Amino acid sequence: MVAAHKDTFEDSSSADRQVGLVYLEGDGRMQLKNDLTGEETIIDVKPGRFLSWDNRHYTHQLLAGSMPRRILGPMAFRDGGFQSIGGGRNRFIIQARAHNLFARAGRMVRVTADLVVLDDHPTGRKRAVRALETDDIAFACSLDPFFNFQSLTAGNKTSKHHKDGTDVGISFARSKIAPNTWRPKITYEIVDEGDTLVWTLPSDGTRLLKKYKITIIMRIGKNVPSGTVIPLYLSVPSEWQQELGVVVK
């Protein structure tokens, strides 16, 4: 999942015009929200589909997808030609993975992410680690709000059900970040009705070129049927995203 946002050019100026992109690979749903009326439009993403919207009047968000995406764009017409949207210098390097690609229903699954904040103004190879001087960094792990576990278990004769038919989803159990040297220590939040876990690394106390390891533990419901692929979305909204998947044995 990618947080709702408006596109900007690589020089950080607002893309106050029509923008567009073509999906080459992947799937999911794109949400366009009219800033004036609040009306939302959901569009299915599929290879070969071209999407375009007026960036002045619409905020957009990728809601879901089970496969990695590859796109041409986004871009917009400017100064006599088409220019790329977004991009620019990365603020950090993140490497994330699920420790088990396969997990049993009723068990825990662990996802970790190593995050290193880059230094935009290096002064030499050997120097003290400096403090972050830009905005806070919000790292999010999101579940797919459109993923219907209940429908997967309907009529599945091989799965064991509780009498009330519950325990067919996935939920966040706990999470930690190391090192946690902020004062006071920071804690995570669970938002979006339980669908998203967020760590916010404040600029005050976050060190450049220091590795922070984020660990997230999730529990798979006992009644999730074998063969289910559970999509997970890791992101720093509007800056970085990675899609992972766990298969239920």
3-state helix, strand, coil in the chain (%, to 5): 5, 50, 45
Mean pLDDT of 208-227: 91
Lowest mean pLDDT among 20-34, 63-77, 100-114, 173-187: 63-77
Torsion sign across C-alpha atoms 190, 239, 112, 149: positive
Determine the pLDDT at residue 151: 41
Mapped onto helix, strand or coil, the DSSP state of residue 131 is: strand
CA 133 vs. chain centroid, Å, equals 24
Distance of CA 16 to the CA centre of its chain: 25
Phi, psi of 86 (to 5 degrees): 75, -155
The residue type of 84 is S
Please give the average per-residue pLDDT across 59-73, as a whole number: 72
Count helices and strands in the chain by DSSP H and E runs: 1, 17
Of 26, 199, 201, nearest to 112 by C-alpha is: 199
Please compute the mean of the pLDDT values over residues 196-221 and round it to a whole number: 91
Mean pLDDT of the chain: 79
Residue given tokens 């947080």 in the structure block: 3
pLDDT level of residue 241 (50, 70, 90 thresholds): confident
Secondary structure class of 127 (helix, strand, coil): coil
**Could you read off the pLDDT of 12-56 as tens digits, one per residue?**
778 889 999 888 877 788 899 999 999 999 999 888 899 999 999
The confidence score (pLDDT) of residue 120 equals: 55
Would you list the DSSP string of 215-237? EEEEEE-TTPPTT-EEEEEEEET
**Band (162; pLDDT cuts 50, 70, 90):** very low
**pLDDT tens per residue across span 91-146:** 677 888 888 889 999 999 999 999 988 765 544 444 444 455 557 889 999 887 55
